[in-house]
Amino acid sequence: MKEERRMRSIRDMIHNPYTASRSMGVRLLLYWFTMALLLVAAILSILMATGVLSHPARQLAGALDIQQRNTYAALDAQMDDLTAHGVALSEKLGRELDAFLAAKGIPFDALNDDPGTIAELEKRLYAPLSSTLSATSCSGIFFCLNVTANTSLPDAGALRAGLYLRYSGLQPTVASEQDVICFRGAAEASRGLQLQMHNRWNPELNTALIPGSERVFSSQAARPAEGSLWAKRSELLDTWEHVMLLCVPILDSSGTVRGFCGVEISDLYFSLSHDTVSSTYGNMLTLLAPIDGDRLDLSGAMLGATSGSRLTADGTLHIEPRKYYTVYADGKDFYLGRHRLLDVVTSDGIPLAAVTLMSANAFRSYERGVQFAWFLGSLLFLLAMLAVSAVLSRHFVKPINESLAAVRGGTTALVASGIPEIDELLAMIRARPVGALPPDVEARLCGFAERAGTLTGMERTILQYYMDGYTVKDIPELARISANTVKTHNRNLYRKLGVDSFDELKVYIELFAACGRSGELLNQKQE
């Protein structure tokens, strides 16, 4: 049986010349595929090293840095501009106040309990107030003097004379297209100036509701700019709005603080002024917010447009710095962003910061999209590379297989593979003598052929039938002999040829046929 298996392996080697070709095809397929992967890996490494492709968090950090610089620059410029206009307004009002009192020949305190003179003064101070409102990016403007029209009222300690102008029906248009109404001021002054009065109008300002008013009144500043401050965001009395006020002291010629003036930024105005910024990672929001330690106070913050988020001016956000961004969280919602403190003075001493935020959920959605895109892209790329590699491998191996087939078929002309080394090898194979085999195989075949020469005429006839493809069952009818006689001839045939079974005999027959040497089994002369 061992001998039979060995002969079968020799037969398979002769009958399966494509084994090496298939192996070469697989190897080439893997080679092309590996080279493609290495090339792509090298390209991706270069792109990542140069920053063209980077981790989403790193990309977000770059986008946040850019937007934060823009946010800070915009808010810093806006607050500087408002402060400058507020200081200029204070100086104008101080000069007009001195001129008015001098013309009347009365001291400042004489204005108390004199509503007529107060109304006259308000009308005189309207011009610088109105011109500043038109030239300033704000939602309202005001001045408040440290006098009251009726000192006998229960709340006279907080009520102060002044004029407060606001835009009505605020829209994202230029100031000249807005309607101006009187929110606070003497009725006589409003009628004289032909100003429409707010539906929640009052004649005087309640300074108790203006954060930092007492601090401004008691300021010892030598110049208006030194005593100016930003009052924290608070509810505007008798309205649904919240505002942030700039308060600048008004000084008379002696340097005494006689009141304060300033500008208003309402929630609506701030929202209209600072729209969301669209980005690949989600909408970026602008905030002007107090920061106390590691907490961002939303209740005291001015919010730009908040589309794409659930952010509201309520509660606080815990600040947690991370590697690529800062996380702002309230336990339920999470935001990613940056912040930077502004150089401004506040009424409560808590610094204000320019803040850029975006929803963490929006960024997570972007990350998942990127991951899926990379997965799908990688899968498609791998499939494409497999297809390309298969085509290239087949293209490379095909001429080699054709050349081998020509050699096996005995074609006279050599079929070139296009590969010099392969063509040279095939030429050497074709130059090999016909029937040349390894020495041990050649010896076995020659020995078998010699033993075949010892067969009798009937045994040679039976061997011929086997070579023609007939089986043992077919022999009695073909040779016109009995089955027992066939068995006797088969035993003699196996003994003389040195085989143990019909299967082993068939192996030898197939080997002689594969080598084109079948005639050697029948042309031997009987001794």
Q: What pLDDT digit, counting tens, does each position of 180-196 carry?
A: 999 999 999 999 999 99
Distance CA 169, CA 180 (A): 9
Residues across the chain = 527
CA–CA distances in Å: residue 261 to residues 85, 146, 155, 415: 11, 11, 21, 101
Question: Tens digit of pLDDT for each residue in 455-477?
Answer: 888 888 888 988 888 888 888 88
pLDDT recorded at residue 513:
82
- Domain segments of the chain as ranges: 19-53+279-431, 74-272, 439-521
Residue-level pLDDT at 58: 86
Count CA atoms within 13 Å of residue 328 on its CB side. Answer: 23
Q: pLDDT tier at 9 (50, 70, 90 boundaries)? A: low
Pairwise CA distance, residues 151 & 314, whole Å:
38
- The reported pLDDT for the residue numbered 382 is 73
> What pTM, to 2 d.p., does this model score?
0.66
Average pLDDT of the chain is 83
- Residue 71 confidence (pLDDT) above 80: yes
The token pair at 194 is 């032909």
Task: State how far the Cα of 117 lies from the Cα of 210, in Å rounded to an integer.
Answer: 25
pLDDT in tens, 423-443: 565 566 555 555 556 677 778
CB-based contacts of 362, cutoff 8 Å, min separation 6? 281, 282, 283, 308, 309
Query: What's domain 439-521's architecture?
Result: Orthogonal Bundle (1.10)
> Distance between CA atoms of 189 and 179, rounded to whole angstroms?
18
